[in-house]
Structure 1
């Protein structure tokens, strides 16, 4: 239960804060990871509470459980934010929340752990749906990837393997997934702002070592390969490139099994997503992904370790 109900704010008031306030408010979006990445208020942060956390909570949890980004947690505790706004898809107000939704748990956590005199916590009336309808220019809109192998393409394009068609796909703003062919196209990599490549194979060459940062994970696409032994190293590499302002392309030969597995492991760890949701998210962006059964079993084990922790 929330000991003190949060204040409420409407879309126009939030817009005023985003534009006029001396200190920009922290906007916490409690919608699903898929919906958030399809479109969200610029500068907002997605919070996600998996089912295990919800079952174990007693009305409030720690900030670490709802905010994956350490810098945001530090900012909340260090006084960087004077205002926090929590939103969902379309709830009319705090009183309309029923059951145990994520936003109610997030609000409970904020109200119990933050000093109400220094940080004001608000709930957005009408949610993202209303804000987006009024101020679409303040929201991001992720373009849907073009369908691969679409009718009307040239015979040359049709002869190209499906996994090499198009280019690398954006998984997160700093993380891309593709094939070895995509890793060989220097102009394309540079146009996407990619600065590092994570080569998940023992045979694919590193084409441009004088231009990009490389890391190799020399594994085979076999159900007996222990790719999970490399998860931590791969995640640290992606994070290190991100922290330096760069972007990483993860690839193997086809961008179907090995590199997709690494991207799924990263989403499970960094976003605390269940494997099923992470898989759906990546599949929508790169429809050809298909980790082998051995890799899927290792991802399930990794999901258990991460989410239970």
Structure 2
């Protein structure tokens, strides 16, 4: 344990810095060779991040055993297949880390996500057979400072409306005569994943307008209106406490992945887009983005404020979360020795001279 602590302390003392103007120039001139690691939460990353950054997944699902065993970059980047592939191929030449607003490397906390990611990078460098490798660097001031100075190099999510109260929802529904769950259109959860209602799924102009190529119908009685025009998959479950929706999680996740891999977009819907389809979207985020249920729930609720999986479905999601935690711990224990080293070989001369200086759980019948 002392040796592990000493290694971590040494890594922190060797942490270099890359000022915002230098990072901007690096991204502009040679961004494809830079592994830019965003060490903030999934919610913060989704709200806005530096262009080209990859979210370093170090929440409790990933870090449960971080104190007892070291995490690898492959574990931290699990779910980002493109980044992992480029990493294995040696296409990255430098690693740059940033968090929300830590002012400099001397004030980085030892238990922070940035430290966990830094240690993973340093371990990868230590295993590399190459000499003269460039250590990872951090961005002083983090995302806050970089966004303030160079907003054009950042991606911000569409501004989300404030969460409405139930009373305001009901008044809006009664004033227009349209159920609240059918107002507006499907909401974007991820660039390839949308959540909506059966009414949204029945309007071809709506589907074509957002580029939908497939629909995941999470109901036993909602019709598939455009067979032949889109790819369909049905999960025939009712919205009640006796249904086992969790037995469909992996099949649904694989279907969504297949649409994503084909560069398509999938609309997940049930009758109202409140309980069943929301449950599937939550399970997808938990599995593929490796986030806890509460974080996934808040993420989806910010986009569709009326989601409310029934009590049984929430219990099944909590059980799914426990399974993911157990699987993550087993994977960490089994991957003490990576199959391939990750190498950063950005020329030292170039780096030194040119670059360095909530919604309650309720029963929602028919949702």
The two structures have a TM-score, normalised by structure 1, of: 0.93
Determine helix, strand or coil for the equivalent of 1:15.
Answer: helix
| Aligned equivalent of 1:17 | 26
Per the TM alignment, residue 99 of structure 1 is displaced from its structure 2 partner at its CA by: 3.9
| Aligned equivalent of 1:239 | 257
Per the TM alignment, residue 233 of structure 1 is displaced from its structure 2 partner at its CA by: 0.5
* Aligned residues of 1:3 and 1:112 also touching (Cα < 8 A): no
How far, CA to CA, are the matches of 1:155 and 1:231 in structure 2? 32
| Aligned equivalent of 1:80 | 91
Per the TM alignment, residue 94 of structure 1 is displaced from its structure 2 partner at its CA by: 2.1
The answer to whether 1:111 aligns with 2:122 is yes
* Aligned residues of 2:62 and 2:290 also touching (Cα < 8 A): no
| Aligned equivalent of 1:222 | 240
| Aligned equivalent of 1:122 | 137
User: Which structure would you say has the larger RCO, counting Cα contacts within 8 Å and 6 or more residues apart?
Assistant: 2
Per the TM alignment, residue 2 of structure 1 is displaced from its structure 2 partner at its CA by: 5.1
Per the TM alignment, residue 146 of structure 1 is displaced from its structure 2 partner at its CA by: 4.2
Which stretches of structure 1, 4 residues or longer, exceed 4 Å deviation after superposition? 116-120, 146-151, 153-157
Per the TM alignment, residue 77 of structure 1 is displaced from its structure 2 partner at its CA by: 2.2
| Aligned equivalent of 1:296 | 314
Per the TM alignment, residue 50 of structure 1 is displaced from its structure 2 partner at its CA by: 2.1
Per the TM alignment, residue 23 of structure 1 is displaced from its structure 2 partner at its CA by: 3.6
Structure 2 counterpart of 1:38, from 39, 43, 47: 47
Structure 1 counterpart of 2:154, from 130, 139, 151: 139
Query: CA RMSD of the aligned region, Å?
Result: 2.2
Give the 5 Å matches for 1:65-214. 65-67=75-77, 68-114=79-125, 115=128, 117=132, 120-146=135-161, 158-214=176-232
Q: Report the more deviating stretch, 223-232 or 50-59.
A: 50-59
Structure 2 counterpart of 1:8, from 17, 33, 51: 17
Q: Deviations over 1:92-142 (max 9, x none)?
A: 222211240111101100110233745652211110001100111111121
| Aligned equivalent of 1:254 | 272
The answer to whether 1:281 aligns with 2:313 is no
Determine helix, strand or coil for the equivalent of 2:136.
Answer: strand
The answer to whether 1:64 aligns with 2:74 is yes
Determine helix, strand or coil for the equivalent of 1:214.
Answer: strand
Determine helix, strand or coil for the equivalent of 1:90.
Answer: coil
Residues 159/9 of structure 1: CA separation in 2 closer, same or farther (3 Å cut): same
Structure 1: which 5+ residue stretches go unaligned? none
Residues 229/13 of structure 1: CA separation in 2 closer, same or farther (3 Å cut): same
How far, CA to CA, are the matches of 2:107 and 2:136 in structure 1? 17
How far, CA to CA, are the matches of 2:236 and 2:44 in structure 1? 35
The two structures have a TM-score, normalised by structure 2, of: 0.79
* Aligned residues of 1:196 and 1:248 also touching (Cα < 8 A): yes
Q: Report the more deviating stretch, 109-118 or 24-33.
A: 109-118
How far, CA to CA, are the matches of 1:277 and 1:163 in structure 2? 22
* Aligned residues of 1:2 and 1:108 also touching (Cα < 8 A): no
Q: Report the more deviating stretch, 165-174 or 41-50.
A: 41-50
Determine helix, strand or coil for the equivalent of 1:140.
Answer: strand
| Aligned equivalent of 1:48 | 57
* Aligned residues of 2:62 and 2:76 also touching (Cα < 8 A): no
Report the structure number with the largest CA radius of gyration.
Answer: 2
Residues 254/57 of structure 1: CA separation in 2 closer, same or farther (3 Å cut): same
Structure 2: which 5+ residue stretches go unaligned? 1-7, 328-367
Q: Deviations over 1:227-256 (max 9, x none)?
A: 010000000111111111111110000000
How far, CA to CA, are the matches of 2:36 and 2:199 in structure 1? 39
